[in-house]
């Protein structure tokens, strides 16, 4: 989104909660009796703690004429009202949406977000009650309002085409008053050269060499900037020049073999839900870099613009995926679920297309990919990601291991596996033979001819550790530390692996009574840090192990 014409919005809105569905809400009858922060989740604390219903947020905006309202992400769904009239609906959590509409005459207008967090138990539900992460209600990410320009961008993609000469391909789709527009003028990094991109019906793509280019890498996360002028409107975009390859069974970044060592990270905090403030985002990146880690998997949903910008700037590599978790056949074959998955996967990839930190794109975590009936959707989603972002390898995390029948559609094989936690769970103490048996089995499977050229990642592995519990037995901090150490050593020393994302970065709220293996105390305690980012023994152990290797 360009940075001009932005209308400042309050960070404190009026608020009203009720245990009704969106359909039952009549915004003309709401008496706003409370206040709430935006972004913010209403169910993280008293008096709405873990309540389910509709939180109505209201603010006032001084504007008029055609406007663009950008909602970067909320959950689980919302109806948006302007002066008591519904102007938009959002039916997908974490979905990035822009709405253009006439705000009416210049003056003060009322904006209401009615946000609902009740479960949809239907086949097409994008957040089922058995998902192992808490379905918070709230406006997770920023809401932005701008005065609409005559021309607006549906797509601006800046994709690296040659890392040797800094060449990028810029592809644009503009809309609005484009009938007399024949070209866009592009300036890189405030250089004096004006590059011309021919446009036909608002669309066009061309290759340009970026002057004095620098490659983006974890060690040197160099960023570039493009000002793209179309008519009188200027679109500003940051981007990076980098090349990610999945070939010969390994991952490469800018021609150099990659070993990913990092964590699965929920963009969550017990006090803020999914509306994680900047200070926590920076803290998480600082902790990972201090440890010697180099990546996060954004499990299991699209990441915030802010977090991706920070990862671009700090060189932390990201696996981004659209929202899906353990979806079974009845969803995977449901046309409505398929349409939502395709729509949201495309939308998420397009929204984050210019972030060089994203080195893997995925979808459908632990879906029923052992089923032939899963193939059409898996292929469709992989095709969408390859079409939207041809420069980033595609994967999905499977827990079906040797039974998976959908790996042909992706560039990278990613195994979620829990040796010595879900398998071998009769052992009180870490069973290294069991760990080796499981890992050897995955290597053998992935070394078959049809898979040998695909890189392999251990996308999840871990154990619960109750903070402070000691003794070396299951659920203790030492048990988790021993497992994380065994994993990191195996992944670094075994040529067949290109890396691992340990499950998980920090403890995160889930559900006690769902199919999510009934987690103790409503938390998933597999974090290497507790939910307030205080290290457990496993964090220190991995830090020590990483110092032994020159990654
Ligand atoms: C799965 C899932 C994670 C988490 C993990 C666990 O692999 O992908 O979201 O639920 O298991 O803790 O069991």
pLDDT per residue as tens digits for the range 89-122: 999 999 999 999 999 999 999 999 999 999 999 9
State residue 521's pLDDT score.
77
Q: How far is the CA of 132 from the centre of ligand 1 (A)?
A: 6
Return all residues near 483 (Cβ < 8 A) that are at least 6 apart.
Answer: 420, 421, 430, 435, 461, 462, 463, 538
pTM (global) more than 0.95? yes
Length reported for the chain: 551
Q: Give the 3-state secondary structure of 364-403.
A: CECCCCCCHHHHHHHHHHHHHHHHHCCCCCECCEECCHHH
Kindly give the distance from the C-alpha atom of residue 327 to the centroid of ligand 1, in angstroms, as a whole number: 13
pLDDT bracket for residue 3 (50, 70, 90): very low
> Taking each helix axis from N to C terminus, what angle separates 305-314 and 278-291, rounded to the nearest 10 degrees?
30
DSSP 258-308: --EEEEE--S-BTTTBT---HHHHHHHHHHHHHHT--EEEETTSPPPHHHH
Q: Separation of 187 CA from ligand 1 center, angstroms? A: 45
- Calculate how far, in angstroms, residue 233's C-alpha sits from the geometric centre of ligand 1: 45
DSSP state at residue 431: -
- Integer Cα distance of 404 and 243 in angstroms: 29
pLDDT for residue 190: 80
Protein residues whose CB sits closer than 6 Å to any atom of ligand 1: 132, 299, 365-366, 399, 416, 460, 503, 516-517, 524, 526
Lowest mean pLDDT among 407-411, 423-427, 501-505: 423-427
The whole-angstrom separation of Cα 34 and Cα 57 is 9
Mean pLDDT of 6-21: 96
Compute the average pLDDT of residues 149-173: 97
- Cis peptide bond N-terminal to 548, omega within 30: no
Which atom of ligand 1 sits closest to the CA of residue 133?
9
DSSP states along 227-256: EEEETTEEEEEEE-B--EEEETTEEEETTE
Q: What percent of the chain has pLDDT over 70?
A: 98
Which ligand 1 atom minimizes the distance to the CA of 462?
Answer: 12
What is the Cα–Cα distance from 291 to 541, expressed in whole angstroms? 10
Q: Scan for tokens 């320009």, then name that residue.
A: 149
Ligand 1 probe mutation, 265, 267, 366, most atoms within 8 A of CB: 366
Q: Using CA atoms, how far apart are residues 361 and 319, in angstroms rounded to an integer?
A: 6
Cα separation, 492 vs 360, in Å, equals 19
Contact 289, 263 (CB under 8 A): no
pLDDT band per the 50, 70, 90 thresholds, residue 291 = very high
Q: Give dist(CA 516, CA 460) in Å, integer.
A: 15
């Amino acid at each position: 989104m360009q940075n001009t014409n932005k209308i400042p919005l309050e960070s404190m809105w009026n608020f009203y909660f009720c245990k009704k569905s969106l359909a039952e809400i009549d915004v003309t009858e709401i008496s706003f009796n409370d206040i709430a922060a935006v972004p913010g989740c209403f169910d993280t604390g008293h008096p709405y703690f873990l309540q389910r219903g509709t939180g109505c947020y209201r603010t006032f905006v001084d504007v008029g004429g055609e406007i663009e309202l950008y909602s970067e992400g909320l959950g689980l769904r919302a109806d948006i009202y302007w002066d008591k009239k519904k102007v938009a609906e959002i039916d997908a959590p974490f979905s990035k949406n822009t709405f253009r509409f006439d705000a009416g005459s210049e003056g003060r207008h009322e904006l209401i977000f009615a946000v609902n967090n009740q479960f949809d138990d239907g086949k097409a539900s994008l957040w089922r009650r058995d998902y192992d992460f808490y379905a918070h209600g709230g406006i997770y990410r920023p809401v932005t309002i701008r005065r609409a320009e005559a021309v607006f961008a549906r797509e601006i993609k800046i994709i690296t085409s040659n890392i040797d000469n800094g060449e990028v391909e810029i592809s644009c789709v503009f809309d609005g008053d484009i009938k007399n527009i024949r070209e866009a003028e592009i300036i890189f990094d405030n250089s004096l050269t004006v590059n011309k991109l021919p446009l036909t019906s608002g669309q066009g793509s061309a290759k340009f060499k970026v002057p004095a280019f620098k490659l983006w890498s974890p060690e040197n996360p160099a960023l570039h900037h493009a000002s793209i002028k179309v008519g009188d409107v200027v679109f500003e975009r940051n981007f990076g020049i980098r090349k990610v390859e999945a070939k010969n069974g390994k991952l490469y970044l800018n021609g150099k073999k990659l070993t990913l060592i990092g964590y699965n990270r929920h963009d969550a905090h017990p006090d803020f839900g999914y509306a994680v403030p900047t200070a926590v985002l920076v803290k998480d990146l600082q902790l990972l870099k201090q440890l010697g880690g180099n990546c996060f998997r954004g499990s299991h949903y699209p990441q915030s613009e802010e977090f991706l910008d920070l990862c671009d700037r700090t060189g932390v590599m990201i696996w981004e995926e659209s929202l899906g978790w353990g979806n079974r056949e009845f969803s995977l074959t449901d046309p409505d679920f398929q349409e939502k998955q395709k729509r949201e996967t495309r939308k998420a990839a397009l929204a984050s297309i210019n972030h060089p930190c994203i080195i893997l794109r995925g979808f459908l975590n632990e879906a029923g990919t052992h089923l032939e009936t899963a193939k059409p959707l898996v292929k469709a989603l992989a095709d969408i990601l390859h079409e939207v972002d041809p420069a980033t390898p595609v994967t999905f995390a499977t827990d079906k291991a040797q039974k998976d029948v959908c790996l042909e559609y992706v560039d990278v094989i990613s195994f979620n596996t829990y040796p010595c936690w879900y398998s071998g769970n009769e052992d009180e103490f870490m069973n290294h033979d069991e760990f080796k048996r499981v890992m050897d089995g995955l290597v053998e499977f992935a070394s078959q001819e049809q898979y040998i050229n695909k890189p392999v990642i251990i996308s999840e592995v871990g154990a619960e550790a109750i903070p402070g519990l000691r003794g070396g037995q299951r659920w203790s901090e030492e048990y988790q530390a021993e497992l994380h150490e065994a994993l990191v050593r195996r992944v670094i020393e075994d040529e067949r692996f290109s890396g691992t994302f340990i499950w998980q970065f920090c403890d995160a709220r889930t559900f006690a009574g769902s199919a999510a293996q009934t987690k103790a105390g409503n938390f998933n305690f597999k974090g290497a840090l507790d939910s307030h980012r205080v290290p457990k023994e496993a964090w220190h152990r991995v830090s020590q192990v990483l110092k032994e290797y020159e990654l």
